[in-house]
Amino acid sequence: MNGGPQRKRRGALLATGAPGWSILVRLLVGLVVFLPEGMQKLAFPDILGAGRFVHIGIPYPEVMGPFVGVVEIVCGGLVVLGLLTRLAAIPLIVIMIVAIASTKLPILLGQDVWIFHLPKLARSGFWSMMHEARADFDMLLGSLYLLIEGGGAWSLDALLARARTRPALRKE
């Protein structure tokens, strides 16, 4: 028995048609942003972790600050390695959507939104929000790319996918 549908789902999770240069997207998303940001949330909780979450209006900041930091470290590391890339991209997408909603939407509207607070900036509105959100949108789009395309040819996902298909080819 080869595992049937469950094996196919695992194979689809690892499969990637993305080229090798997709490693650049993985390095940008994982190594440049999420891995160091997660570490900084834990190393500097007053300004980048729970303390910042209090200021923004994130509920349960003393729990969510370290939790988000750990998720960014783990998922950022997985993305860098190209291991379970699609799964690792999902929490990163959620983090970026929350970041945009909690810190950029109030700037766009020029007022507090739901539980999220308008930061003290010299200006608000569309162009101010676009300036403040450029890195957030880059990370959201990079994470969406990794969810759709997978880790690319130079990833552990691709290596594992190739290893999984070799024994099946030998049996035929």
Is 51 among the domain residues? yes
What does the pLDDT read at residue 1? Answer: 46
For residues 66 and 49, the answer to whether their CB atoms sit within 8 Å is yes
Sequence-separated (6 or more) residues with CB below 8 Å from residue 169 = none
4 part of a folded domain: no
In a domain, 145, yes or no: yes
Specify if 8 maps to a domain.
no
Per the structure, how many domains does the chain have? 1
Q: What gap in Å lies between CA 45 and CA 59, rounded to an integer?
A: 15
Distance CA 167, CA 14 (A): 16
Backbone φ, ψ for residue 112 (5° rounding): -60, 145
For 103, the enclosing helix (H) or strand (E) is: none
Its sign, for the CA torsion 45, 40, 78, 56, is positive
- CA distances 70 to 18, 43, 78, 91, 153, Å, are 28, 11, 12, 11, 27
Residue 1 lies in a domain: no
| Residues 6 or more apart in contact with residue 61 via CB below 8 angstroms | 49, 50, 51, 53, 54
- Record the tokens describing residue 84, joined without a space: 């379970």
Task: Residue 77: give the domain boundaries.
Answer: 21-166
| pLDDT tens by residue, 31-65 | 999 999 999 999 999 999 999 999 888 999 999 99
Q: Is 6 domain-assigned?
A: no
Residue-level pLDDT at 33? 95
Reported as a single tens digit per residue, the pLDDT across 79-117 is: 999 999 999 999 999 999 999 888 887 766 666 665 666
Helices marked H in 49-125: 50-56, 61-81, 85-99, 105-109
The pTM is what? 0.83
Non-local CB neighbours of 119 within 8 Å, separated by 6+ positions: 55, 103, 106, 107
